[in-house]
Amino acid sequence: MTTQDDSMLGRARVSDTPELEAYYGELAGLEAGALWTVANKIEPWYPQPTSVPVLWRYSDLRPLVRKALDLVKADDAGRRVVMLVNPGRRDVSAAVGLLYTGLQIMGPGEAMTAHRHQAAALRFVHEGQGAWTIVDGEKLRVGPGDFAITPNGTWHEHGNEGEDEPVIWQDGLDIPLVNALDAGFYEVHPELYQRARPVVNASVLTYGGNLLPYGVEKWTRPYSPLLAWPWEPSYQALRDLARTGEGSPYDGVIMEYTNPVTGGSVMPTMGAHLQLLLPGQATKAHRHTGSVVYTVAKGRGVSVVGGQRFEWSKGDIFCVPSWAWHEHENLDQSDDAVLFSFNDFPVMRSLGFYREEEKCD
């Protein structure tokens, strides 16, 4: 890369003088300003996220998430969620970049009311057996390690039909993006609850077998008709792929959850991956535009993100801000480690903003 310096010709390099400062004051009085006073800041040489790398330990968060069960009724909170807030993104309730994430807890027998909104949501189940969700009339049952989506504009509600244990699942939403674009809408369901169609997990039965069904209505919406990806077949797919090689040098054995009709991302604003690191496998560092939230689905390891070393184990969540160098290592020499992650790559790609670079030592 060539030397890039804000004092060079081609960058704004005007020094303040009393005369200029008076001029800036006159412009400000008219709700105007001189571009050259901010040009270098608003056009950085490369991305300058305010988000910082963060690791949230499940063992720290879990007791506080459980505490919320007694502190607030689900019906009063709307959703009983402990959100993960990046210190650099408190103003927009983002975990990283324009992505939101949080841990939602539902007690045995609880059910939440239905709503829909402009934001898209996804779920990754951490613990508990009884979780269900209804997405536009389709009831899905989800358990630990399962991934499910609630595309933008779909009615959704959920609950826990288990008898003993609370369910804790992780929500991922593009709310900060939707709000940054001033495009948010929200509606409570007119009947408060949906009437679910009789077949549970119908989209998994229809599209989950890796063959394209005939005789079903042609799918034309901009998101995946498959709404849930159970843990077992997803993990098995990774293990099968791992038998063929070590995968990507930067990510190990990695697969994207995809829209089975298009092969594209599951939703237009957010994509998701599941990746496996072989025993002892260490990846090379790379960086790319786009933000990522990682959740440890299995095993233990370490990731270095923007120079910070995060040791992780099952349930932990960490983030990679845009353009931050990152690399991962499985610290177990005899078992694999698995990371679930979601990202805003579909936005980056569709706007032509995606860039990627490998670290050369």
Residues 6+ apart with CB under 8 A from 269: 120, 152, 174, 177, 344, 346, 347
Nearer to ligand 1HN among residue 156 and residue 298 (C-beta): 156
Segment 96-135, which members bind ligand 1HN (CB under 6 A)?
102, 104, 121
Exactly one of 85, 168, 173, 337 binds ligand 1HN (CB under 6 A); which one? 173
Residue 141 parent element (H or E) = strand 138-142
171 binds ligand 1HN (CB under 6 A): yes
Give me 272's structure tokens: 């998701």
Q: What's the min distance (Å) between Cβ of 157 and ligand 1HN?
A: 8
Contact 261, 216 (CB under 8 A): no
Q: In what order do the strands lie in the sheet with 100-106?
A: 81-83, 100-106, 167-173, 121-127, 147-150, 228-229
Segment 137-156, which members bind ligand 1HN (CB under 6 A)?
156
175 binds ligand 1HN (CB under 6 A): yes
Nearer to ligand 1HN among residue 132 and residue 310 (C-beta): 132
Please state the φ and ψ torsions of residue 91, each to the nearest 5 degrees: -65, -25
Nearer to ligand 1HN among residue 172 and residue 315 (C-beta): 172
167 binds ligand 1HN (CB under 6 A): no
CA distance 361 to 359: 6
Segment 11-70, which members bind ligand 1HN (CB under 6 A)?
none
Give me 67's structure tokens: 């505490």
| Tokens 């006073």 -> residue | 37
Q: What's the min distance (Å) between Cβ of 154 and ligand 1HN?
A: 10
Nearer to ligand 1HN among residue 35 and residue 71 (C-beta): 71
CA distance 116 to 98: 20
Residues 6+ apart with CB under 8 A from 315: 58, 59, 62, 126, 127, 295, 296
Q: Which stretch binds ligand 1HN (CB under 6 A): 9-17, 167-175, 239-247, 288-296?
A: 167-175
Q: What's the min distance (Å) between Cβ of 96 and ligand 1HN?
A: 15
81 binds ligand 1HN (CB under 6 A): yes
Nearer to ligand 1HN among residue 155 and residue 312 (C-beta): 155
Contact 82, 102 (CB under 8 A): yes
168 binds ligand 1HN (CB under 6 A): no
Nearer to ligand 1HN among residue 95 and residue 337 (C-beta): 95
Which among 212, 195, 125 has a CA at the least distance from the CA of 157? 195
- Binding residues for ligand 1HN, how many (CB under 6 A)? 9
Interacting residues with ligand 1HN (CB under 6 A): 79, 81, 102, 104, 121, 156, 171, 173, 175
